Amino acid sequence: MSDTTTGLPAPHTPGVTSVTDTTRSGPIGGGFRPEIEGLRAVAVLLVAVYHIWFGRVSGGVDVFLLLTGFLITGSLVRAVERDGRVRFGAFWARLARRLVPPVAVVLVATMVAMYVWLPRSRWADLLAEIRAAALYHENWTLAHNAVDYLAREAAASPLQHFWSLSIQGQFYLLWPLLVTAGAVLASRVRWPLRRAVLVLSTVVFAVSLAYSVHITDRDQAWAYFDTGARLWELALGAILALVITELRLPARLRVFLGWFGLVALVSCGVLLQVSTLFPGYVALWPTGAALLVIVAGATGSRYGVDRLLTWSPLMAVGRLSYGLYLWHWPLLVCYLEVTGRSTATVAGGLVILVGSFALAWITHRVVEGGVERFTRPAVRRTPGWSVTVAAVFLVPVLAVTHVWSERLEEERDRRVQELAAPESYPGARVVADPDLLSVLPRVPVRPDPADAQRDLSSHHEEGCHVNLGSEELVVCDRGPADAEHTLALVGASRTAHWYPAVERVAAEHGWRLVSFTKSGCPFALAPATRDGGPFPECEVWKDKALAELEELNPDAVLLSSTRAFTHEEVIQEGYTELWWHLNDLGIDVIGLRDLPRLPYRGAECLEATDAAECTSPASLSQQEVDPATLVEDVPPNVTLLDLTEHVCPAGDCDAVVGNVLVYWDHSHITATYADTLTPVVEDALVEATGW
């Protein structure tokens, strides 16, 4: 789970972002709420500071989601009370006019920064994310990446912070419909409008919170970006908007609640690991804290928290919070990419923060202010004009990303179609035959670093390998059904990356090859874990895998015999128990030692520097002796193989071997390099099986 995610405030617009009675704390009655502007400032400063200097999240996103529900509900209810209905076209067009221009400017700037500073290997994915951010579904892109093991090792995206804007955009589409449904309900059962909307908001709150608790416990990485798991936070703000005018609290109590809420909000990121716990019931901490500050309202006391929140510098930050949020994250990602750091220095962080403020001020004055001045005449306040303004900013972004993506795809197709002569790209063959090095031509590395992440075997392309969140067992069957010998390849992704060589060997010898693998799921009898917690999807998958093997009864199973982590190599708990179980079934086991992990991403390192600089010793993540050979109770059906020397010759894991890119990320070899391992894998499998 990334620790770089956060929420997004909406731009300041009178009548929507800060409206309520200044003494009774609620948006329904109208009036400007200056302390809400200060609360937004506190939230965005927490977001920026935690990101820049601490590399974690603060809970500020939850404040913005609560405020969105609070303020938008008040605006919509007042519209129905005034006009008798929600004017959907005008509402959505007005939002598009305010929200889209600053977003488009930031997205264009991000594309420029991407071209200048970020590796080409990331361009295709980032262009897809830019489109997702522009069309308000970036949260779902990130949710899918969060459960895609092969995407989780990617560096932080400069678009990652757009996930919360996407959730807000989806809320803007949904909530007018809910308020309209409330108006219909009110007319049918003769309720006041606010009571009907309150009932519906409460139902949404309860259902979403229950779902959030469930999905956070089951799959927190997915839940973090799931609109359904976040909707309760917006609904809580809606409930507050509808009931707050009925509250009658003593001034002293409101003073206490205000300060208690602010302290709770500021301490949330310090005391909780937000990125790994939210958004379940734990997210009631920051939302509840913000709720208390809003309930406290304008206390009229010299000791009230509103005295701080209405301090003019803080309110100025609140007015810039939209732009500040939009700019700080791309600046931080580019800074980290250029410096190679994981967090900013004190001085570097100050530069990022000052730069974010400067860009936010320019965006506020030039972009937001320019659009406001352009549409000030009454003739330009119509929904049609608002949509046109939004389109003028949005369409070029979508057009550029589309054309650029098409160009990248064409370039990739040309590279794939290039005829790579075996003598030009021997890959692992130079390890077995060093004489090839003397005649090795100087040609571009293949796969090109820009293509490396997509350099996958047919096993992946045909869906035989399933991601973290899947329980499905996808069995791929190659070779004659009546083959004399059947080999099964089973395990996690670091077993699956051997598939190209294994497939070619099986085809050459007429074996039947059956494969099924799952990301992050070691094939062992011990309970699996994911991010330190239970991994139920893996348990279900393993049960299905064992049942499939019992029914298939292959001659042998090829699987991993060790697990290499960043700084150690171990025998996975439950490995030997599985081997004994397969022994009882009469199935031979070929245990393949896990390959070393790298301290760098193979493709990105090669883009950033010379290939000679992209190397690391295998000993960083491998023991001197294969741990599997030291196990005393290895059953007689097990044959252990160690092919590390052919991937990391002489104990060094180089980015390029024989003109072929070896690793595309920290821990997975490219399909192209795996294919060059075919002669080595053939010798090893024939010797191990005797077939």
Q: Judge whether 439 lies within some domain.
A: no
Quick one: tokens of 687? 């010797």
Query: 390 with 465, same domain?
Result: no
pLDDT value for 192: 95
370 and 364 in contact (C-beta within 8 Å)? no
Q: Judge whether 611 lies within some domain.
A: no
Number of domains in the chain: 2
Q: What is the mean pLDDT of residues 531-544?
A: 90
Which residues make Cβ contacts (< 8 Å) with residue 116, sequence separation at least 6?
A: none
Which is more confidently placed, 689 or 272? 689
For residue 537, give the CATH number of its domain: 3.40.50.2300
Reduced to 3 states (helix: H, G, I; strand: E, B; else coil), residue 624 is coil
Per the listing, tokens 């080409």 go with 120
Query: 567 with 637, same domain?
Result: yes
Q: Judge whether 239 lies within some domain.
A: yes
pLDDT value for 153: 54
pLDDT value for 8: 42
Q: What is the mean pLDDT of residues 558-575?
A: 92
**pLDDT of residue 623 exceeding 60:** yes
CA–CA dist 49, 52 (Å, integer): 5
User: Read out DSSP for 22-34?
Assistant: TTT--STT--B-H
Share above pLDDT 90 across residues of the chain, in percent, rounded to a whole number = 73
pLDDT value for 582: 96
**pLDDT of residue 1 exceeding 60:** no
pLDDT value for 419: 52
Query: 399 with 470, same domain?
Result: no
**pLDDT of residue 532 exceeding 80:** no
pLDDT value for 18: 33
618 and 644 in contact (C-beta within 8 Å)? yes
Residue at which a domain ends, from 404, 434, 464: 404
Q: What is the mean pLDDT of residues 673-683?
A: 96
- Cα 170 to Cα 47, 69, 226, 392, distances in angstroms: 22, 12, 11, 21
- Residue 123 pLDDT class (50, 70, 90 cuts): very high
Q: Judge whether 608 lies within some domain.
A: no
- What is the pairing mode between strands 588-592 and 638-641? parallel
Mean pLDDT of the chain: 90
**pLDDT of residue 82 exceeding 70:** yes
Q: Judge whether 447 lies within some domain.
A: no
Which residues make Cβ contacts (< 8 Å) with residue 558, sequence separation at least 6?
A: 487, 488, 489, 490, 495, 498, 502, 590, 592, 685
pLDDT, tens digit, for every residue of 336-360?
989 988 889 999 999 999 999 999 9
**pLDDT of residue 16 exceeding 80:** no
Q: Judge whether 323 lies within some domain.
A: yes
66 and 234 in contact (C-beta within 8 Å)? yes
Q: What is the mean pLDDT of residues 183-189?
A: 95
Query: 388 with 461, same domain?
Result: no
- Residue 49 pLDDT class (50, 70, 90 cuts): very high
CA–CA dist 146, 223 (Å, integer): 10
396 and 102 in contact (C-beta within 8 Å)? no
Which range in 19-33, 453-467, 584-598 is most confidently predicted, on average pLDDT?
584-598
Q: Judge whether 310 lies within some domain.
A: yes
pLDDT, tens digit, for every residue of 213-271?
999 988 888 999 999 999 999 999 999 999 998 888 999 999 999 999 999 999 998 88
Q: Judge whether 440 lies within some domain.
A: no
pLDDT, tens digit, for every residue of 257-273?
999 999 999 999 888 88
* Angle, helices 284-296/60-83, rounded to nearest 10 degrees: 50
Query: 498 with 374, same domain?
Result: no
pLDDT, tens digit, for every residue of 364-421?
999 999 998 888 886 677 889 999 999 999 999 999 999 999 999 998 888 877 655 6
Residue at which a domain ends, from 370, 404, 438: 404
Query: 113 with 234, same domain?
Result: yes
User: Read out DSSP for 209-227?
Assistant: HHHHHHHHHH-HHHHTT-H
List, in sequence order, every residue forming a beta bridge with 558; answer none if it has no partner: 489, 590
CA angle at residue 539 from 533 to 542, to 5 degrees? Answer: 140
Query: 395 with 460, same domain?
Result: no
Share above pLDDT 70 across residues of the chain, in percent, rounded to a whole number = 93
Q: Which domain holds residue 378?
A: 34-404
Task: List for the chain the helix, strand, coil content (%; round to 5).
Answer: 60, 10, 30
pLDDT value for 6: 33
**pLDDT of residue 91 exceeding 50:** yes
pLDDT value for 622: 94
CB atoms within 10 A of CB 273: 13
- Residue 151's nearest CA partner among 403, 402, 377, 456 is 456
pLDDT, tens digit, for every residue of 131-181?
999 999 999 999 988 766 555 556 789 999 999 999 999 999 999 999 999
Query: 389 with 462, same domain?
Result: no
Q: Which region holds residue 658: left if phi is over 0, alpha if psi is between -120 and 50, else beta? A: left
Query: 286 with 358, same domain?
Result: yes
pLDDT value for 567: 86
Which residues make Cβ contacts (< 8 Å) with residue 574, sequence separation at least 6?
A: 522, 524, 525, 526, 527
Q: What is the mean pLDDT of residues 435-449?
A: 88
Query: 489 with 400, same domain?
Result: no
53 and 343 in contact (C-beta within 8 Å)? yes
Residue at which a domain ends, from 389, 404, 419: 404
pLDDT value for 562: 95
**pLDDT of residue 30 exceeding 70:** no
Query: 59 with 179, same domain?
Result: yes
Query: 391 with 507, same domain?
Result: no
**pLDDT of residue 515 exceeding 60:** yes
- Residue 156's nearest CA partner among 284, 37, 305, 333 is 333
